[in-house]
Amino acid sequence: MRSFTVNENANPVEDTALGDSNRSYLSGLADVDGTIECHFDHTDATGQEAMTQGSTVSLVLYPKGTTSGDPTFTVSATILGIASSATFNEVVSRTFTWAAAGAGTWGTVV
C-alpha cells in the first residue's frame, strides 16, 4: 500500500426556519469513505484481488505503523470503484474507492 484516505463526515440537515437571516444546520447521519492506493499486484489474492467492484471487505488500516499502541482504523467497506494507472518509468498503481458498510472504529495495535 502506498497511501490511503479516510473521510469521516456528518451529512448536514438544514434546520433553517422561516424568518431566519441565515441558514442553519444540524449534524445528520455519519458517513465514512475513502481510497486506498497501492502498487498493482495481480498475485495478491487476499488483498487487491479480493477487492472487486461491489464487494464488501473488512479493512484494517494502520496510519502510523504496526507497533503496539499505534492507531488502527477498522471498517467493513463496499468497494465502489477501481482505477489502474500506468506512467512511463513508474510502477503501475491501483486506486480503490470505498464507502463504509457500517460504522468505522478507531483502535490501537495490540
Q: Domain containing 27: what range?
A: 3-108
Distance CA 52, CA 68 (A): 31
- Number of domains into which the chain is organized: 1
20-58 confidence digits (pLDDT tens): 999 999 999 999 999 999 999 999 999 999 999 999 999
The percent of residues in the chain predicted with pLDDT above 70, rounded, is: 100
Q: What is the pTM of this model?
A: 0.85
Residues 35, 4 contacting (CB under 8 angstroms)? yes
Question: Cell numbers 495490540 label which residue?
Answer: 110
Question: Which CATH number covers residue 53?
Answer: 2.30.110.20
The predicted pLDDT at position 61 comes to 97
Helices (H) and strands (E) in the chain, counts: 0, 6
72-81: average pLDDT: 98
Helices (H), 18-65: none
Find where cell 495481480 sits: 42
Across the chain, which distance is largest between two alpha carbons, in Å? 62
